[in-house]
Amino acid sequence: MLIQCTKKLLDYLKVNPISQQEEDPLFSWHANLMTINRRKAIVLVNDNNRYVITLYGVTAKHVKKLDTLILESIQKTFLAEGIKEEVIEQYIQHAPDFTFAKTKDKTSVARMNKSCETIYIWNDLLDDDHVEQLTFNKKASRYLITNGKNNYIYPNQQLYVNLEEFAGQPVLQTKAVRLHVKLNLERGHVLRKLTVPLRFTFHQLHRTLQIAFDWEDYHLHEFYIYDDQTTDATDSGWSTNYPSFGHEKKKLILNLVSQEETLDYKNDIPVKLEKGIQLSTYLPTYKHMDYVYDFGDDWLHRIEVEAVIDDYDKNYPICMEGEGNTPPEDVGGIHGYERYLNILADPEHPEHRHMLEWGKGQSKEKFDLEKVNRLLKAEF
């Protein structure tokens, strides 16, 4: 693996660079040392596809095993991309021994520097608890960049092409679940049918639901997970305020929350922080969940696992169908939304004009399947 370093990085690593040599660009990277939030970061940019691999919070102890850390980061990031394990193993096994050289030329350095700018754009995605930055790597590699005159690429998509040529087979394959998600309203419902990779975290499912239902992600959210067995809620020890009281009285086994502060509240069921927990930890073993968005309006989305797909050939979720439009944010929940609709339907109502103007400011659009899928692909 050829790592072509800036002088700043070479000085930090205290290595003597080899003479410049030609290497298969798929196994050749340009690398720079940066300081972000007072922590050192090594950013590697692949010469063939411009995919970004970042090591964050690097210290002297990490430098001693840098080659191992780089390989592990590549392996974990490619897994997070949904690339087949056999293809990743083939890539790792085929990679030559690590060598360090100076940067190749001004064009390569300029391209690397352009990719490095993403660390400023999405530095909020950097994980202080890990050196490997899987989420950041994926996001930084979905940034449209120039790759020569009148040529633009998405590094992640170019990576798939390169690996497919290298391995001689399709490289994206993962398990997924097909979800039926319904938001019940007084007048009808809003429905979305989604296919979501099982390697996704619950936070990624949250983002999927936000896009699919056209929410703005202004508020807190949480998940409830249920066992399929039914139970008498009055004998189960948990409050009738839980959503499951109207969920065919299924046994509530876990509450996943998005904020650490929520863990301090007393609760009568297990509560965990959703961060980092993959869907596969609980799905499809458990087939029923609730997703609650906005603890004021309490928008309750019923989720059911309809099927498991063993050979899903995408690494992002898709919406297969949907019906109905999402209520405006901060409308006051189901009852507030009903009142809002009644006022809009009555031109003589004293609040009609105000509600009409307020509703325009919410800029809700009719459900557009093509647009939703375009946004989902861009997000993940």
- Chain-wide mean pLDDT for the chain? 90
Q: Dump pLDDT digits (tens) for 192-246.
A: 999 999 999 999 999 999 999 999 999 999 999 999 776 655 444 444 445 544 5
Q: What is the pTM of this model?
A: 0.84
Collapsing DSSP to helix, strand or coil, 201 comes out as: strand
pLDDT of residue 251: 87
Q: Residue 284, preceding bond cis, omega within 30 degrees? A: yes
In this predicted structure, the answer to whether residue 1 has a pLDDT above a threshold of 70 is yes
Asked whether 116 and 45 are in contact (CB, 8 A), the reply is yes
The dotted CATH code for 2-167 is 3.30.420
End-to-end CA distance of the chain: 28
pLDDT of residue 232: 59
Give me the phi and psi of 61, to 5 degrees please. Answer: -65, -30
Topology at the third CATH level for domain 174-326+364-379: 3.10.290
Distance CA 320, CA 141 (A): 26
The segment(s) of the chain belonging to CATH 3.10.290.30 are 174-326+364-379
What are the tokens at 113?
């520097």
CB-based contacts of 69: which residues, under 8 Å, 6+ apart? 55, 62, 131, 132
The residue to which tokens 């660079």 are assigned: 17
Mean pLDDT confidence for 123-152? 90
The segment(s) of the chain belonging to CATH 3.30.420 are 2-167
